[in-house]
């Protein structure tokens, strides 16, 4: 049955469908309204895409280097719920819009990870589907979401963290195919034209991208230089001559793209220092102390990250010490580079400032790049081992993989009635004839807690009116 591997689509689609239902039943987060309405200080970002007021006028305001994340959330939640109201009621349209965005971003990340993992070994439809099946369980909507969540329960955090990282993976696709794929391809002229604009969009997007993209670009340049240098390692030339020759032999089109990305990321990091929301209560030394305290919490809080971590290290160790072919050597080198980059990224996190919502710096959203790194390494090494193990070992390994996939999948179970209280409250507000509505329920309404004074529900009231949930602006309180 040559086409039997297409049956793997069934569990993938079922899981994605279940994820959509999970996303659909999550209450609205407390940051969305402030960004979508938006609050007056957020309009400064939307009015200044490049952060020129920081550069030219030395102004300080909220998140000056995140225009494209703000604009994406603003445009999406301003328009998509209204479009969906051609098919569903206004209240449902808001949840549906959030669920669609989260599911699409989740599918994109899984597909990109599967492509990267499969292309590293031997890409085919079968390998792609296996890689996707291996990556899927780590996308936790419930279960281990607090530890390794990639698609956040909050649409705001999903747009600001997961989406930019998906775009970053798209940015590096042509370079991955050029230098790491089994069938290497030159970077096309079209890509070279698109990439500079893409770099600007990335650099002025989510909070993680400037650091992650800068690190990855720098690592790629160092890797290409090291590869050129090693080709002359047996030469009798001096180090300086060999080093300069390695620089001269860099592919200059690719080098220019990486240098430009590093440049715009550096600019983004600079204007990000003018973020008025940065907390300076803690010194840099204190932030590093908090990071150090956060590591055992991240590793010991549950099995979520430790199991992924040790499963990946096991795979890498078996590949590194059990096989000597060229693919194994390449995977070992890739693992060393990525593990070093992950460690460096974590070490740089305290430089990004401090937020009360992340008391130990490390949290599911700040470690998403590391989580994705381990998912990639786990998937690509698993595919390699499946292709190399003899039958006896292969069957045992397949059983172990199946158990791991089942463990994460079985843990990811949601309360599919979680937003019922919020929906009922919104219906009460919509149906009430009062301009100030008293709610008997005690659940939050598009806020991070209950609202006991109606004056604090003004923004929510304006948003409900914009979404056509209410015929006029109303306020409410619990």
Among 354, 377, 411, the domain-final residue is: 411
* pLDDT tens digits for range 36-93: 999 888 998 999 999 999 888 888 888 899 999 999 999 999 999 999 999 999 999 9
Confirm whether 374 is domain-assigned.
no
Same domain, residue pair 175 and 200: yes
* pLDDT tens digits for range 317-336: 999 999 988 889 999 999 99
Same domain, residue pair 107 and 158: yes
Half-sphere exposure of 11 (CA within 13 A, CB side): 16
> What burial class does residue 321 get, using C-beta atoms within 10 Å of its C-beta: 0-12 exposed, 13-18 middle, 19+ buried?
exposed
Same domain, residue pair 8 and 44: yes
Per-residue pLDDT at 1 exceeds 60: no
Q: Write b or e for each residue in 230-257: b if 16 or more Cβ atoms lie within 10 A of its Cβ, otherwise e.
A: eeeeeeeeeeeebeeebeeebbeebbeb
Per-residue pLDDT at 280 exceeds 70: no
Mean pLDDT value across residues 205-214 = 91
Among 354, 379, 411, the domain-final residue is: 411
Among 411, 443, 468, the domain-final residue is: 411
Mean pLDDT value across residues 395-413 = 94
Confirm whether 155 is domain-assigned.
yes
Same domain, residue pair 120 and 156: yes
Mean pLDDT value across residues 466-472 = 95
Number of domains in the chain: 2
The whole-number pLDDT of residue 180 equals 85
Same domain, residue pair 406 and 425: no
Which residues span the domain enclosing 273?
Answer: 4-279+389-411
The whole-number pLDDT of residue 297 equals 80
Confirm whether 384 is domain-assigned.
no
Confirm whether 466 is domain-assigned.
yes
Same domain, residue pair 94 and 17: yes
pLDDT band at 298 (very low <50, low <70, confident <90, very high): confident
Same domain, residue pair 404 and 425: no
Same domain, residue pair 48 and 91: yes
* pLDDT tens digits for range 442-451: 899 999 999 9
Query: Residue 413: left (phi > 0), alpha (psi -120 to 50), or beta?
Result: beta
Confirm whether 234 is domain-assigned.
yes
Give the containing element (helix H, strand E) for 219.
helix 209-230
Per-residue pLDDT at 455 exceeds 60: yes
Share of the chain above pLDDT 70, in %: 98
The whole-number pLDDT of residue 4 equals 66
* pLDDT tens digits for range 342-378: 999 999 888 877 777 788 888 889 999 999 999 999 9
Same domain, residue pair 126 and 164: yes
Q: Across the strands, what pairs with 438?
A: 477
Average pLDDT, the chain: 91
The residues, ordered by sequence, that sit 6+ positions from 154 with a Cβ below 8 Å of its Cβ are 29, 31, 32
The whole-number pLDDT of residue 459 equals 94
The whole-number pLDDT of residue 199 equals 96
pTM (predicted TM-score): 0.94
The whole-number pLDDT of residue 198 equals 96
Mean pLDDT value across residues 221-225 = 92
Confirm whether 188 is domain-assigned.
yes
Confirm whether 99 is domain-assigned.
yes
Mean pLDDT value across residues 147-160 = 94
66 contacts 207 by C-beta, under 8 angstroms: yes
Same domain, residue pair 104 and 60: yes
pLDDT band at 470 (very low <50, low <70, confident <90, very high): very high
Per-residue pLDDT at 2 exceeds 70: no
371 contacts 101 by C-beta, under 8 angstroms: no
213 contacts 259 by C-beta, under 8 angstroms: no
Angle at alpha carbon of residue 69, lines to 67 and 75, rounded to 5°: 95
Q: Two tokens at 314?
A: 């096991």
Q: Of 178-182, 220-224, 238-242, 350-354, where does the model show the most confidence?
A: 220-224
Same domain, residue pair 167 and 211: yes
Mean pLDDT value across residues 405-419 = 92
Mean pLDDT value across residues 392-402 = 92
The whole-number pLDDT of residue 268 equals 93
The whole-number pLDDT of residue 227 equals 87
200 contacts 194 by C-beta, under 8 angstroms: no
Confirm whether 43 is domain-assigned.
yes
Cα 414 to Cα 416: distance, rounded to the nearest angstrom: 6
């Amino acid at each position: 049955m040559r086409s039997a591997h297409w049956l793997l689509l069934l569990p993938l689609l079922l899981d994605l469908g279940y994820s959509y239902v999970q996303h659909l039943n999550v209450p609205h987060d407390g940051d969305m309204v402030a960004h979508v309405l938006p609050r007056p200080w957020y309009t400064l970002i939307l009015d200044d895409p490049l952060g020129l007021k920081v550069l030219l006028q030395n102004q300080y305001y909220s998140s000056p280097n995140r225009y494209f994340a703000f604009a994406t959330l603003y445009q999406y939640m301003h328009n998509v719920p209204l479009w969906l109201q051609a098919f569903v009621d206004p209240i449902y349209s808001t949840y549906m819009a959030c669920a669609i965005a989260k599911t699409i971003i989740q599918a994109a990340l899984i597909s990109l990870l599967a492509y990267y993992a499969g292309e590293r070994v031997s890409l085919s439809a079968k390998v792609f589907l296996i890689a996707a099946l291996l990556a899927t369980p780590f996308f936790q909507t419930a279960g281990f979401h607090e530890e390794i969540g990639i698609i956040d329960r909050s649409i705001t955090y999903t747009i600001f963290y997961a989406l930019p990282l998906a775009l970053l993976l798209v940015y590096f696709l042509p370079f991955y195919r050029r230098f790491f794929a089994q069938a290497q391809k030159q970077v096309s002229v079209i890509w070279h034209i698109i990439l500079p604009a893409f770099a600007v969009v990335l650099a002025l997007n989510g909070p993680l991208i400037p650091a992650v993209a800068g690190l990855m670009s720098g690592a790629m340049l160092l890797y290409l230089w090291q590869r050129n240098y090693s080709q002359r390692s047996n030469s009798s030339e001096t180090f300086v001559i060999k080093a300069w020759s390695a620089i001269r032999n860099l592919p200059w089109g690719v080098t220019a793209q990486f240098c430009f990305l590093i440049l715009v990321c550096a600019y983004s990091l600079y204007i990000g220092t003018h973020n008025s929301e940065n907390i300076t209560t803690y010194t840099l030394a204190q932030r590093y102390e908090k990071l150090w305290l956060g590591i055992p919490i991240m590793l010991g809080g549950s099995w979520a990250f430790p199991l992924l971590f040790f499963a990946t290290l096991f795979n890498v160790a078996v590949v590194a010490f059990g096989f000597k072919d060229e693919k194994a050597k390449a995977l070992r080198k890739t693992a060393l580079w990525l593990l070093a980059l992950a460690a460096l990224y974590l070490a740089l996190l305290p430089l990004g400032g401090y937020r009360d919502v992340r008391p130990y710096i490390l949290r599911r959203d700040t470690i998403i790049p590391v989580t994705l790194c381990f998912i990639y390494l786990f998937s690509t090494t698993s595919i390699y081992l499946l292709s190399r193990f003899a039958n006896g070992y292969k069957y045992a390994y397949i059983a172990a993989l199946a158990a791991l996939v089942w463990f994460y999948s079985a843990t990811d179970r949601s309360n599919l009635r979680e937003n019922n209280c919020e929906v009922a409250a919104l219906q009460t507000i919509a149906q009430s004839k009062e301009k100030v509505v008293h709610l008997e329920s005690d659940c939050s309404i598009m806020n991070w807690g209950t609202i006991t004074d109606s004056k604090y529900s003004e923004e929510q009231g304006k948003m409900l009116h914009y979404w056509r949930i209410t015929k006029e602006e109303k306020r409410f309180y619990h």
